[in-house]
Amino acid sequence: MITNNPVSTKSRAFRLVKPGEVVETVLEHPIPQDFVVVKPDLASICHADMRYYMGNRRPEALARKLPMALIHEGIGHVVDSNNTSLKEGTRVVIVPNIPGYLLNGTSPDDCCPYCRGVAGANYCTNGRFLSSGFDGLAQDRLVVPVSCAIPVPDDVPDEIAVLSELCSVSHQALSRIEDRLRDSNTRVVVFGDGPVGYLSAAMLHHVFGLDADRLHVFGAIPEKLNEFQFATRHLVQDFDFSSIEGFDVAVECTGGKFSESAINQAIDLMNRGGSLILMGVTEERVPINTRDVLEKGLTLIGSSRSYSVDYHPVLKAMRDPKCQETLGRLLPDHYKQIHEVKDFVAAMDEAAAHRDWKKTYLQFHW
């Protein structure tokens, strides 16, 4: 029930202590003023979670960030509050990127140079990101600022709302060049046929209004590429890169060992003065064709994560049945039922062994 100024709450948490090893523990979270307590209900596994679980982060990063509860994509419902704006039982999306000014009860101007400047709260140096050095959604009580628990519209199903975090990351990146995307002459190309590429293309289509004549996607696996039915599709290994009109915006969503080829192919295709958005994550340094970057006057934009302002346009788009149909292609046929820590470990192990195109969903039964 909603209480007046509760002091703290205990949380049953599944914490990763080292790669492949998760233990159940009890955490205690204070509940500051204007924070709410959320019980996570449905979540999905991100590649970032898997990098921690499989030990694919640098050793110093693992040593610094573990132990912690994983998972940062998900929804839940409010079970307690220090703010009257969210009622008990309200279904909410959990925003994992929490700026320092919300944690400390100050203003953006009093937080850090990035909150005060152009970069914005997404790059706050005093903030926390759940499941990246701070405990994530794999616990039964999560305490977050009220503005980081965003109500889900009634006409957005749970399984679609879970995708709002990943969609918001795409929205954050694309909003950096929103004026350009709204220009009817702008042509955009997305590299990557995985979930990040798919949802970035989906946001370009459903939020920014690009149809197949202006939106092209390059991928390597025909079955995945065929899912992008709202875009013009190309198999990268069979494509003659000298045969197509240039693009004004490129979005690189491959990451890993394919980052180098995708970035350089994007540079080859770009018009002068174009913008190249980098979203793919790799642990290694990536050589790129700087000569053409300079000659064409390209702007490279790195983008990672998102924050609360990105969720509202995403949730608005998700109310459209056509958008729900597009996003529904990423949904798994079955959810992993999580009753205890061994279920969570089994789900993570299976996700590690079978890197499916569709998302892995976790239905928590606390």
CA distances from 88 to 76, 189, 308 (A): 11, 44, 21
pLDDT in tens, 85-116: 898 999 999 999 999 999 999 999 999 999 99
pLDDT value of residue 204: 98
Are residues 264 and 250 in contact, defined by beta-carbon separation less than 8 angstroms? no
| CA-closest candidate to residue 318, choices 195, 154, 144, 180 | 154
pLDDT value of residue 225: 95
Structure tokens at 235: 């198999």
For residue 117, the 8-state DSSP code is S
Q: How far apart are CA 276 and CA 210, in angstroms?
A: 17
Amino acid in the structure at residue 316: K
Are residues 162 and 97 in contact, defined by beta-carbon separation less than 8 angstroms? no
Structure tokens at 148: 């980081």
Q: How far apart are CA 92 and CA 69, in angstroms?
A: 20
Are residues 125 and 100 in contact, defined by beta-carbon separation less than 8 angstroms? yes
Structural domains in the chain, sorted by start: 8-96+131-163+330-364 (3.90.180.10), 170-302 (3.40.50.720)
Residues (pLDDT < 50) of the chain are 1-3
Q: How far apart are CA 95 and CA 146, in angstroms?
A: 10
Confidence (pTM): 0.92
φ, ψ for residue 128, nearest 5 deg: -130, 145
pLDDT in tens, 261-298: 999 999 999 999 999 999 998 878 999 999 999 999 99
